[in-house]
Each structure stands twice: as structure tokens, then as C-alpha cells.
Chain A
């Protein structure tokens, strides 16, 4: 059974490599920026977040730029550790925050798949199976054995998408681009994405696109300035579907 449980999560983001002194003068007084006990400028990225996400829930994190959506995703993925509070994630985690991270431009598609498998700590047999799967799905033909530096943007997306979606995690963490149209490169991509999303026990997606939220999610959490301002069903958080939007069915 998959579960995400957050109790009083806090995260302060320190600004280390910026001229702290002038920055302090200019920015302090803003509610989210303050100095910590060792006199560094920190921005409050997440403040006292508590929520529980259970099996079967598909949650959208909504909010303006800088509201803390991606930071929260990274924390759920285990990249950042909270400075206060407790986080429990039960279930295998699949994080698709930036899928191009860890790609080596000088290596071929095949070598990159192997590298990704090493990053994921997979056994050799699984690596071979995954390579075959990705090769088939990405449909790059002989370009699969050419350095990805030479790929067109579309080919790069196809490879990244095929690699990222080739496995089925129990807890799926996504940043928005996956669901928001770029994946429309192939009809079969949509089917695969749907399988991935519905196959996961829990999905958390950070997005601006309310169409994505209404189409895929069962619950929405609104973040503002690192604080949860609303948490409930999609309609409760986003309000009813606006008249103007209704005829337009978003295609993903």
C-alpha cells in the first residue's frame, strides 16, 4: 500500500552564493525572506505542511511560480530533507522532475539507457529488458546508436519520454510538462501516459494547467508562498469549470 504522510514539513532555502549583504538590505521586510540564526538570508520555501495522500489519490499541486510546488516534489522524492517536520513515503518512488538530468550528450541513445539503469540501480537482466522496451517505443531506428548530441529536439523528447515512462512506480511524482502537451508527439504516448498515471497507486503532479488537473486528478492542493491555502477535491480548490472553458476539451 502506498502512502505519503507529511507532518509539519518546513524547508528554508538558504541563498549562499549571492552577495548576501546588499541582498539583505533590499529584500528583508518581505515576509518570506528572513535571516536565520547564523545570519544568512533564507527564503521560506515550505512552511508547516501537513497532509496525507492515500492509495488511489491523484493529487495536483497548484499555485503561482515560486509557490513551492517543485520544491515539495523534490522533497517527496528525497532530494531535499526537511529542516522541521516528518515525511513518510511508502511505495517505490518514480520522480519525473527533470528527465534530461543525467543524460550524457556524447553517448548514444543505447548507452544513455544503460546509464539511466545504472542510476536507478537496476540488475543487468532488467537493463536489457528496459533497453529493448525503450528502443521499441522511442522508434529512433538507427539513431538509437548515435550520440544524442546530434538528435533533433523531438527525438530527444521521445527518448527521454520512453526512458522515464518505461517503468511503473507506485508513487509517481511529476512536473507538469509531462502531462501538458509536449507528450502529444505520438498517439501511443498518450496511452502510455494514461497507463502510467492510472497504474501508479499515488500520483502527485505540479502544474499550472487547470485542464491537466481536471482531466487527471482527484484532489488538488494549492500552495501559496510555501503554505497550503486550500486542499480538497478539484472542484473545491479550483472552483467550478468556467463557462468559457467548457466546450474546449483539453487534449493531452
Chain B
């Protein structure tokens, strides 16, 4: 019945033909406040939103193009600045930790680049809906589209840093084995979490505008609590506490395969659990508050 909820525009002839073939009118929109069908609507939102990923991808690409309009290097400026930062931190901290650059740099490169990726996703998730305010108030689109747009944009930007990892591995002579492929599910896990957060934080931060800056500070805090600059082995016995940090768990699913030959089982279990919690929270919020977002943005 709601299959066509998000296709307000269809050619007349086409719709007519569809009406003849389908017993239930496909162009049919009904809302009843006494029977809000919140769960069905939320599911329809996610399903149609994911099915229309091409719109989200086009918007994400436009975001990037417009952000770097007129710039020669464009998003590769990020690659350059990450490279500079790697060099600075690499030289200083390898000396402080008494590690050789070849031992330290691959770990730092992977951790910092993946961290930037995660951190960017989280920070921009806070504005996923507010940023699309003009569209949300003018046309009924699945909210999933806006969250997907936010996630895809950051995934594309994050991908610009990946060549740095290859470069540093080549320079340091690190050639990890086939375990490297495990980093792919790790990256996918980050994307799924980014999408769920764009829904969840997008909604919360549209309603409460103070949450955005708080999220920024929290990310700053976790930058130091997560093994990015320092190696997890340096914690000694206290390393058992690390999986309590969700950012460590998620980061480890990519860092582990690239640096330590696979990542610990406990990190994977923790990462999957955090992802599940994140998705469950996002789903709950979407079901409960989806119809309010248009008033919040």
C-alpha cells in the first residue's frame, strides 16, 4: 500500500497503466494520527531510501565538488595535510617511544587515517538533517537518503587518504599477507556505523542544537583515549580494558588486519556488538521520531 509513498511524480500514463494492473492504487498516501503505523513507515523509509542510493550518491558527490570548487588539488589537500601530520607526529613520537620510524610509522599511518575517517563521519553525522533542511521542508523524501548522503560523502573523502597508507607501507617495506582482506569488512563496519550515526545523531542534533559541539569535544577526548599515537601494546596489562572503548574496537577491525595480522577476536566481537547497539538505537529513534524531524530542522 505504501510502496509508492516516495514516488510522488510518475507519468500519468504510466501510473494509469499501473493502476489497471494492480488492485491496490499505487499512488496512494494515507496518514492517520490515530494509527500512525510508525514501524511500517520507518521500514518503508529505510527500504525506499536504500533503493534510491543513486540520489544519495549524486548528492554526496555534489557536496564534495562544491566544497572544493575552484581548488586545484581538491580533496587531495586532505591527503597532503594528513601526510604532513604523519611526518610530524611520526618523527617526534617515534623518538619519545624509542621506536624506529619503520616500526612506528605504519601503525601511526593506519590508525590516524582510519581515525580521521571515523571522526569525520561522527562529526558530520550531527548535521546530516539540519544541512538538508531546505529539501526536507519542500519535498517528502525518505530520511534515509540524507543519512546515506552524509555517510557516502565522508566515505568518498576518506578514500582520498588511502594511497598514503600504500605509500608508507612501501617506504617502510611492510608487506602484510592475505589477512589484509579482513580490513574490507572492517571498513564496511565503519560505513554501517556512519550511516546509523547519521540517522541517530542527525535526529538528536536537529532537536538539540547543543549536542553537536559536545560531540566534537567527545571526539577530541577519544583521540587521546584510543591507540592512535600510541600502540596498544604500550598499555601492558591494562590493554584488556581497551575493548570498552567503541572507537578502539572499530578502529582495530581495520588496523589489526593491516598491522598485526588480523586483529584480536575480542576486538571483532566488541566492534560487532557496538555496531548492533548503534543500529538498534538508530532504528528505535527513527521509528519513534521520524515524523517529527520535519519540525526540528
Contact = CB atoms under 8 A, between A and B. Distances in A.
Given A89-B28, A101-B134, A115-B58, A77 B8 contact: yes
Interface of A: 10, 13-14, 16-17, 74, 77-95, 97-98, 101-102, 104, 106-107, 114-115, 118-122, 126, 167-170, 199
A84 B33 contact: yes
Interface in B1-60: 5-12, 15, 25, 27-34, 36, 52, 54-55, 58-59
28 contacts: A10-B33, A78-B29, A78-B31, A78-B140, A79-B136, A81-B36, A81-B294, A83-B33, A86-B32, A92-B9, A92-B27, A93-B8, A93-B29, A94-B8, A95-B139, A101-B138, A102-B135, A106-B62, A106-B66, A107-B62, A115-B58, A118-B52, A118-B54, A119-B141, A120-B7, A168-B11, A169-B8, A170-B27
B33 A86 contact: yes
A47 B211 CA distance: 33
Give me the 5 closest cross-chain CB pairs, A-B, nearest first.
A101-B138, A78-B140, A120-B9, A86-B32, A81-B291
Contacts of A98: 138
Interface string B266-297: 00000000000000000000000001001110
A81 B31 contact: yes
A11 B128 CA distance: 25
A78 B66 contact: no
Contacts of A14: 295
Interface string B54-74: 110011001001100100000
Nearest to A13: B295
A199 B69 CA distance: 42
B209 interface: yes
B137 interface: yes
A95 B11 contact: no
Contacts of B138: 79, 95, 97-98, 101-102
Contacts of B141: 119
Given A81-B291, A90-B25, A121 B9 contact: yes
A93 B27 contact: yes
Contacts of A16: 207, 295-296
Contacts, number: 123
A90 B4 CA distance: 11
Nearest to A126: B11
B28 A90 contact: yes
B135 A101 contact: yes
A61 to B, nearest CB: 17
B140 A77 contact: yes
Contacts of A81: 31, 33, 36, 291, 294
Contact of A170 (B12, B65, B135, B294): B12
A168 B139 contact: no
Given A78-B29, A86-B30, A90-B28, A119 B139 contact: yes
Contacts of B8: 77-78, 92-95, 120, 169
Interface string B96-130: 00000000000000000000000000000000000
A106 B62 CA distance: 9
Nearest to B136: A79
A141 B209 CA distance: 45
Contact of A79 (B65, B137, B209): B137
A92 B10 contact: yes
Given A78-B8, A92-B10, A87 B31 contact: yes
Given A77-B140, A87-B29, A118-B58, 15 more contacts: A78-B140, A79-B136, A79-B139, A86-B30, A86-B34, A88-B28, A93-B29, A95-B138, A106-B69, A118-B52, A119-B135, A119-B139, A126-B11, A168-B12, A170-B27
B67 to A, nearest CB: 10
Contacts of B66: 104, 106
